[in-house]
Amino acid sequence: MGDQAKLSVAGAEHDYAVLKGSVGPDVIDIRKLYAQTGAFTFDPGFTSTASCESALTYIDGDEGVLLHRGYPIGQLAENSSFMETSYLLLNGELPSKDELASFENTITRHTMLHEQLANFYRGFRRDAHPMAIMCGVVGALSAFYHDSTDISDPEHRKISSHRLIAKMPTIAAAAYKYSVGQPFVYPDNKLSYTGNFLRMTFGVPAEEYEVIPAVEKAMDRIFILHADHEQNASTSTVRLAGSSGANPFACIAAGIACLWGPAHGGANEAALNMLKEIGTPDRIQHYIDRAKDKNDPFRLMGFGHRVYKNYDPRATVMQSTVREVFDALKVNDPLFETALRLEEIALSDPYFAEKKLFPNVDFYSGIILSAIGFPTTMFTVLFALARTVGWVAQWNEMISDPGQKIGRPRQLYTGPTQRDYVPLDQR
Ligand code: ACO
């Protein structure tokens, strides 16, 4: 028998198995706790709770390590492509040359949208936030592709996963085009996944669009950095929605809704807005003081993370990508200097050191995306596009698990106890 944890409740002792992952903290298996003790556990932000078993992504937040199927994110960002990383996440192993070519071919063949989907965009106001459009349009996919929504059929799951990954750039680019009043650009299957997305976003029918290889590479790397991040809020949302048997398009729409929040995917938009507000390095100290002030709700956006208590390894890659993009586009953004200085000042301040607050993936991404030409409202959309791979991989893993159950948390009830209804004229 493996390790046991002992818990004493109301004078009675109970043993619980301690499960071991391949790496990472042990997990106390409390599935029988309620049946044995009549008590629940209380962990509202899931800070101590493993909600599932997963073989996709591993994070060691203290050491600043992120592995996809065992491969460090730095190595993938340096050597892999978003398509290859997607294959890895979906299938568990890096593809052979033929497997990669076949996967890319499949994804490329699914990039077009049903023409009627264009009508959905027209229902939105021009100034709609593109994340609002994403929630609506992705949710609507289930009304168009219901030939692949039998979630008990692995082949259906595979097709709908491929459709989601393939169509997301087309949907995201159309959300942007709609907001600027330009015609939608159809996919061009000669281009790479990322090159195609850039052309659909920034190209216009009146002119040839030339993909700049360095920008394509940087964008592809940004997609790799966002591909998956184990059981974060939006992924847990996708899993919870999927646990009821909901179709994958509806589940991914739920994930997009969760990602939108400023504490999660919305932080890259908030981080750039904050840097713009700070402006020049001489104003940094004022904002550092505000972030430290308990009575001020202001926080340094792009700083801190629930899991990383060290430098987010994605932020390191992101920081080095900034200069690459600046060089390729022959631009410079003084906000980068402000960001570097802000990081330096914050990291040497005891408040941030004691609370282990470091730059996260969102701190530098806004500067790159802005240099490429994306408005801030599109930042979270790009995150959603890339994270779709992680979402569908996690969703597939969950549905394939024979022990899968509907997710149904319990609660610590603090409302009134039972009381009798009082008629209106007696209140
Ligand atoms: N600026 C200033 N203080 C902070 C910050 C920050 N960015 N982040 C956390 N703190 C402080 C909190 O005030 C708290 O202080 P206290 O212990 O004195 O009360 C302490 O650090 C712990 O913070 P919590 O909010 O309890 O930590 P939690 O793990 O719940 O939050 C979160 C993590 C939401 C990411 C938080 O650090 C934050 O709001 N950061 C800014 C938003 C952001 O960048 N989000 C992106 C996350 S990465 C992603 O989603 C891709």
pLDDT in tens, 348-406: 999 999 999 999 998 999 999 999 999 999 999 999 999 999 999 999 999 999 989 99
pLDDT confidence of residue 269: 85
* Ligand 1 centroid distance, CA of 71 (Å): 27
With a Cβ cut-off of 6 Å, ligand 1 is lined by 263-265, 267, 291, 299-306, 355, 357, 360-362
Ligand 1 atom closest to the CA of 307, numbered from 1: 29
* Ligand 1 centroid distance, CA of 302 (Å): 9
- Tokens, residue 399: 């549905």
DSSP-derived secondary structure for 205-234: TTS-----HHHHHHHHHHHHHHS--SS-HH
* Ligand 1 centroid distance, CA of 353 (Å): 13
Q: List CB contacts of 259: < 8 A, sequence separation 6 or more.
A: 131, 233, 234, 265, 266, 380, 383, 384, 387
13 bridge partner residues: 8
pLDDT confidence of residue 1: 55
Closest CA to ligand 1's atom 21: 355
pLDDT tens digit string along 35-47?
999 999 999 999 9
Active site residues: 305, 362
pLDDT confidence of residue 290: 96
For the chain, how far is it from start to end, CA to CA, in angstroms?
Answer: 61
Pocket test for ligand 1, best of 228, 355, 358 (most atoms within 8 A of CB): 355
Cβ neighbours of 413 (radius 10 Å) = 7
Closest CA to ligand 1's atom 20: 355
* Ligand 1 centroid distance, CA of 159 (Å): 38
* Ligand 1 centroid distance, CA of 301 (Å): 9
Closest CA to ligand 1's atom 25: 306
Ligand 1 atom closest to the CA of 47, numbered from 1: 29
Closest CA to ligand 1's atom 8: 304
Q: Tell me which residues of the chain have a pLDDT lower than 50.
A: none
What letter represents residue 264's amino acid?
H
pLDDT tens digit string along 97-130?
999 999 999 999 999 999 999 999 999 999 999 9
